[in-house]
Structure formats: C-alpha cells, structure tokens
C-alpha cells in the first residue's frame, strides 16, 4: 500500500523499472519457504544481501539482481530518493553477460496453488469509509484512504451452484471468515469459525424474463472477547448465460471495530466499512494471485466449512 503511493508513484522510478529492469512482485512468505527451484533462486539472492540471516523471519524488501542470481542491491526503505540511488547503482554494477534461463526442476505444490478448471475468481476490495482522525502523517494518510485487494476463489462445482441460484454453505463460510476482513492497513487476522455468529447470503429468485438476480444477506462477525467485530448487510447482482456466471458483483457494508497485529491505527470505536466483490475477467495481473488466506494451505481454504 505504502510503496504504491510513494516509491512507485515516482516518475523516475517508474520509468526506470519499465525500461531498464524486469520487475517482479512476490509474496516472499512463499519464496523463502519454497522447497523448489524458484525458492532456491530467491534465497540465493537474499543470502547475498543484508537479509542473509533471515532464519524463519521475513525477507521483505526491494532487491535488484542479475539474471544469473548475482545480488546487486537491497533496500527496505520507501523513500523515492533512496530507491532511485539503488536503481542507479544496480545499473552501474550490472554486467549484461549471457545468462541461462532457470528451468524449474522442482515445484513445491504447497506454494503454487492453482484455480481449478471451471472455477471463478472474484476480486475483493475493502475500504474504511470514515472514522479516522485527521493526521499530518503522510504514511497514515495513505492507509486512511487505501482500497485493499484480494481474490475469492470458487470451484467449478460452486460456480455451477451459483448458476442454479444457490450459494453453498462452504462459500458463505469462506467469504465470512477470509474475505470480510479489514486488510486496508496490512495483513489482517482472519475470523475463526466460532467468531462467525451469523451469516446469511442468498440469491433471490429471478424476475420473469430476467437473467439478473439479486444477492442479499447480513452477517455478524465478532471475536469472543468482543474486541473486534463486523456487522452489516450485503446486496448485489448475479447474472449468467446458463453456462457461466457473467456478473457477480456485491457489497458488504456495515460497522467494523478493532484491529489486528499488523493492521494497527484503525479508527477508534465503530467505523463504517465496506467490502466489494466483482467477477474478475483476467484483465488485471492481480487476478492471478491466490487468495491471501490460502497461503501455504490451499486445502484448508477449500475445506473451510468442513
């Protein structure tokens, strides 16, 4: 979030990344654990950097490297001036020699989840609609206006059930536990099963001669100690052509309260909060990113309601 509005809002950095580098964005929680070719290549770069003693900890940051895996530079600072300097140094140190493409001889399946054939990707975005105190802190201002992004995945069977006019219980549970979360300021805590106090989500019968159906619902999520909660209503539209869902847009809106370990500085008390859902069309590269809640545990993501 912060990088997008600072480092990657700088025209000089954007121009250099477009023209002089091959830019790649990764969730390093995957690559630093992957027991496969990609994981080895990534750790090989990190081990030459100031992050070399990462152990079980994070390797978060910005890296530059040659295609052969030779480390060129590192920064975990978001100031554009520092990143400009890092890019210039990397280009000065880089020797454009022939490098062999790295071929994956091993793939760690735990960290390469794939959307099942016939499944659906639904874009999920969230925003705090109000309640923040005014701040002079530019970083906090970025968080305060942030719109988050994640993906909801549905199986082919769940896709078919939507066309038939029903939302499976496991989908309702997956949405409530993993996607009605406040991830606008960082990685959010997901809801535990016993924190879903209620979740109603239905597709109303179609009006005559209409392929458009209304999605309605309401929900109450709350931690056992009451410190964090989200209560609200859902409304949206589902359309299909008999074979495929062609539109699946809905919004959950209500009152949120509380924060998580990595989502501090939430507004005090209850605040208005909304989560939108939109059928992805694969026009955005972020449509290919697995759901945050599936990280290293895709089976658990699918089986959430069992």
Partner 1 sequence: MKVCRLRLCILPFLLLCLSAVTAQENQSSRHDPPGLDQAEFERLHAELQPDQAQPWRTIPWKISLLDAQRLAAEQKKPLFIWAMDGHPLGCT
Q: Compute how many other C-beta atoms are within 10 angstroms of the C-beta atom of residue 261.
A: 9
Q: How far is the CB of 82 from partner 1 (least distance, A)?
A: 14
**Cα(222)–Cα(193) distance, integer angstroms:** 10
The residue among 157 and 237 lying less far from partner 1, judged by its C-beta, is 237
Contact 141, 223 (CB under 8 A): no
Exposure string (b/e) for 115-140, b if CB count within 10 Å is 16 or more?
beeeebbbbbbbbbeebbeeeeeeee
The residue among 60 and 198 lying less far from partner 1, judged by its C-beta, is 60
The residue among 169 and 204 lying less far from partner 1, judged by its C-beta, is 204
Q: How far is the CB of 170 from partner 1 (least distance, A)?
A: 22
Per-residue CA distances from 196 to 107, 170, 193, 199 (Å)? 35, 13, 6, 7
Tell me the CA end-to-end span of the chain in Å, nearest whole number: 34
Q: How far is the CB of 238 from partner 1 (least distance, A)?
A: 12
Q: How far is the CB of 306 from partner 1 (least distance, A)?
A: 25
Give me the sign of the Cα torsion angle 93, 96, 98, 100: positive
The residue among 124 and 304 lying less far from partner 1, judged by its C-beta, is 124
The residue among 186 and 258 lying less far from partner 1, judged by its C-beta, is 186
Task: Give the residue from 231, 227, 304, 214 showing the smallest Cα distance to 274.
Answer: 231
Q: How far is the CB of 102 from partner 1 (least distance, A)?
A: 5
Per-residue CA distances from 126 to 74, 147, 151, 272 (Å)? 31, 5, 11, 11
The residue among 13 and 162 lying less far from partner 1, judged by its C-beta, is 13
Q: How far is the CB of 274 from partner 1 (least distance, A)?
A: 5
């Amino acid at each position: 979030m912060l990088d997008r509005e600072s480092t990657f809002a700088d025209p000089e950095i954007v121009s250099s990344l477009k023209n002089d580098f091959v830019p790649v964005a990764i969730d390093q929680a995957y690559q630093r654990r992957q027991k496969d070719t990609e994981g080895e290549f990534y750790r090989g770069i990190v081990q030459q950097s100031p992050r070399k003693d990462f152990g079980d900890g994070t390797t978060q940051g910005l890296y530059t490297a040659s295609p052969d895996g030779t480390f060129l530079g590192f920064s975990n600072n978001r100031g554009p001036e520092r990143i400009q300097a890092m890019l210039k140094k990397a280009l000065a140190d880089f020797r454009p020699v022939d490098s062999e493409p790295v071929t994956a001889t091993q793939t760690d399946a735990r960290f390469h989840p794939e959307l099942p054939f016939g499944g659906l990707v639904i874009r999920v975005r969230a925003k705090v609609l109000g309640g923040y105190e005014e701040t002079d802190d530019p970083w906090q201002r970025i968080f305060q206006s942030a719109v988050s992004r994640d993906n909801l995945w549905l199986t082919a069977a769940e896709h078919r059930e939507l066309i038939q006019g029903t939302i499976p219980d496991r989908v309702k549970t997956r949405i409530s536990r993993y996607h009605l979360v406040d991830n606008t300021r960082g990685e959010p805590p997901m809801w535990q099963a016993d924190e879903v106090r209620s979740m109603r989500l239905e597709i109303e019968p179609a009006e005559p001669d209409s392929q458009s159906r209304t999605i309605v619902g309401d929900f109450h999520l709350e931690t056992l100690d009451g410190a964090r909660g989200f209560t609200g209503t859902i409304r949206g539209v589902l359309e299909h052509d008999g074979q495929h869902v062609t539109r699946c847009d809905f919004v959950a809106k209500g009152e949120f309260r509380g924060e998580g370990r990595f989502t501090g500085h939430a507004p005090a008390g209850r605040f208005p909060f909304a989560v939108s859902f939109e059928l992805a069309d694969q026009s955005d590269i972020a449509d290919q990113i697995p759901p945050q809640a599936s990280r290293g545990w895709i089976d658990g993501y699918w089986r959430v309601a069992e």
